[in-house]
């Protein structure tokens, strides 16, 4: 496994994959540790989760620099990611016991009935590279607080981040075996998911990877949570505040160099304001500074890997060949590293990659529709269903449209985002299950019904 700096294309470090014996030892250690970790008072588990936040903040610049070096995230956004990780840890450190407390249910005057939430066991987590700390810790904080242990298989191009996260938890005081990182290939990932000692699996990544892990877990009757791709619509209505909508639209498309599952990708604009929005949006995209992500002035850094840049370039070229018009950008940059220009495409044909697929990079697709009804229809005409947003000054109208969107997360006058206090996840090819909030911590627990009746039975 080799990490490469996407800003320069130069190798950073090479890591050896774990051999079969090491994998076996790590899985057994996670299973053994679960037996004691599950019985540790939840207040102690919460305190350790809170300590993660302290370690993250103490070393914020180190971790942010590592992220930027391995996957090209602008340094300011990398710092923000570390802060968000600290926030989610603090959230579960405060609320885990509340979310997992027994729920009393009235069934009969003489019976004591409740629902309890018990941990399941070791969780296999397969995580992507685009938010290398957040993707891991948004799962780890609730999973570990609930009393499960966790085995991580991270994307190879952020192996340094994977090892850093493992060290963060060690420095926070977690016992050996509660959180384990495995450096393994795809075949071994499936072997671990299938292992009888592993209780459940979660994956954030592509649709293909999600289907494969879900199939393996399904054969062994193990619960899964999948957070897959997105092609989020950004709907602009005739009464939107256009200056703000244009500015936010550019941010929504290029945040994290355009490599975010919840990034707005399809910009659907009603006819009355289409041209004004189009012109303003193009100006905003053209104003962005592309360059070295370690430079504080950089808005857009590189695509994270050479093969991902090749895929993006192919998708854009096929869309143009199918009849789309390039309003700005459309090309790779002639410089070291894996850079692609901020791009806006117009007249995007049905069935082309920019209309149907997830483009992971700073490429926006513009669609002109006649009215609100057509906007909703086009927004929902996608195999994905992660997030969606609508922009309007009529809040009742916006809420009605948000409820009509076929997506797991819908927003009015806000960028689609994950928030520790709210459940996060999608439908259709964007996956299933929920992360964050109370929903996320309960996903990998046994919701157990407990019924206690008097020894002489219940009165009729």
Give me the pLDDT at residue 182, please.
98
Across 20-33, average pLDDT: 98
The tens digit of pLDDT for each residue in 357-383 reads 999 999 999 999 999 999 999 999 999
- Cross-strand partners of 14: 2
Structure tokens at 56: 């993250």
Across 403-410, average pLDDT: 98
Give me the pLDDT at residue 79, please.
98
- Contacting residues for 344 by C-beta, under 8 A, at least 6 apart: 278, 281, 282, 285, 326, 327, 328, 329, 363, 364, 366
Give me the pLDDT at residue 304, please.
98
Which 8-state DSSP code applies to residue 175? P
The tens digit of pLDDT for each residue in 137-169 reads 999 999 999 999 999 999 999 999 999 999 999
Does pTM top 0.95 for this prediction?
yes
Q: How much is the mean pLDDT over the chain?
A: 98
Structure tokens at 450: 């407990």
Residues 223 and 201: their CA atoms lie apart, in Å, by: 7
Residues 414 and 307: their CA atoms lie apart, in Å, by: 32
Give me the pLDDT at residue 162, please.
98
The tens digit of pLDDT for each residue in 93-151 reads 999 999 999 999 999 999 999 999 999 999 999 999 999 999 999 999 999 999 999 99
Tokens 């053209």 appear where? 286
Residues 40 and 123: their CA atoms lie apart, in Å, by: 18
Report whether pLDDT(384) > 80.
Answer: yes
Which residues belong to the active site?
227, 261
For the chain, the structural domain boundaries read 2-228+430-450, 232-412
Give me the pLDDT at residue 164, please.
98
Structure tokens at 79: 């710092």
What percentage of the chain carries pLDDT values higher than 90? 99
Task: Measure the CA angle with vertex 103, ends 97 and 105; round to 5°.
Answer: 175
Across 174-182, average pLDDT: 98
CATH 3.40.1390.10 fits 2-228+430-450, yes or no: no
The tens digit of pLDDT for each residue in 43-76 reads 999 999 999 999 999 999 999 999 999 999 999 9
Residues 185 and 170: their CA atoms lie apart, in Å, by: 24
257's enclosing H/E stretch is: none
User: Is the distance from CB of 149 to CB of 124 less than 8 angstroms?
Assistant: no
Across 338-353, average pLDDT: 98
- At residue 460 the predicted structure's pLDDT band, cuts being 50, 70 and 90, is confident
Query: Quick count: other Cβ atoms within 10 Å of Cβ 250?
Result: 25
188's enclosing H/E stretch is: helix 186-194
- The architecture in CATH of the region 232-412 reads 3-Layer(aba) Sandwich (3.40)
Give me the pLDDT at residue 21, please.
98
């Amino acid at each position: 496994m080799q990490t490469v700096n996407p800003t320069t294309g130069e190798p950073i470090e090479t890591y050896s994959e774990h051999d079969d014996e090491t994998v076996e030892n790590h899985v057994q250690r996670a299973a053994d540790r679960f037996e004691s970790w599950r019985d540790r008072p939840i207040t102690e588990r919460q305190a350790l989760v809170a300590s993660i936040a302290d370690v993250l903040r103490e070393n914020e610049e180190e971790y942010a620099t590592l992220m930027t070096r391995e996957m090209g995230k602008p340094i300011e956004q990398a710092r923000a990611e570390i802060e968000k990780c600290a926030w989610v840890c603090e959230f579960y450190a405060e609320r885990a016991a509340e979310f997992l407390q027994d729920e009393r249910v009235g069934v009969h005057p003489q019976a004591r009935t409740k629902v309890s939430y018990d941990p399941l066991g070791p969780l296999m987590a397969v995580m992507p590279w685009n938010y290398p700390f957040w993707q891991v810790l948004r799962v780890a904080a609730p999973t570990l607080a609930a009393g499960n242990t966790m085995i991580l298989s991270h994307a190879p191009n952020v192996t340094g981040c994977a090892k850093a996260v493992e060290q963060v938890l060690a420095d926070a005081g977690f016992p050996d075996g509660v959180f384990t990182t495995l450096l393994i290939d795809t075949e071994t990932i499936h072997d671990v998911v299938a292992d009888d000692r592993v209780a459940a699996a979660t994956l954030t990544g592509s649709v293909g990877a999600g289907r494969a892990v879900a199939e393996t877990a399904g054969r062994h009757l193990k619960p899964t949570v999948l957070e897959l791709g997105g092609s989020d619509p950004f709907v602009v209505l005739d009464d939107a505040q256009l200056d703000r909508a244009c500015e936010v639209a550019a941010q929504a498309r290029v945040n994290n160099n355009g490599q975010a599952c919840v990034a707005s990708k399809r910009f659907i604009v009603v006819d009355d304001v289409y041209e004004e929005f189009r012109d303003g949006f193009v100006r905003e995209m053209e104003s962005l500074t592309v360059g070295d992500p370690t430079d504080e002035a950089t808005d857009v850094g590189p695509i994270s890997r050479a093969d991902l840049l090749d895929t993006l370039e192919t998708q854009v070229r096929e869309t143009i060949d199918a009849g789309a018009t390039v309003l700005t950008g459309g090309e790779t940059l002639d410089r070291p590293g894996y850079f692609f220009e901020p791009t806006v495409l117009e007249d995007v044909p049905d069935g082309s990659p920019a209309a149907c697929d997830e483009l992971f990079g700073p490429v926006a697709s513009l669609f002109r529709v006649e009215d609100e009804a057509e906007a909703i229809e086009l927004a929902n005409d996608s195999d994905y269903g992660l997030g969606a947003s609508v922009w309007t000054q009529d809040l009742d109208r916006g809420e009605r449209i948000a409820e009509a969107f076929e997506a797991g997360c819908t927003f009015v006058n806000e960028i689609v985002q994950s928030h520790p206090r709210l459940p996060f996840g999608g439908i259709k090819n964007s996956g299933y299950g929920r992360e964050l909030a109370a929903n996320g911590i309960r996903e990998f627990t046994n919701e157990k019904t407990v019924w206690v009746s008097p020894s002489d039975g219940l009165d009729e």
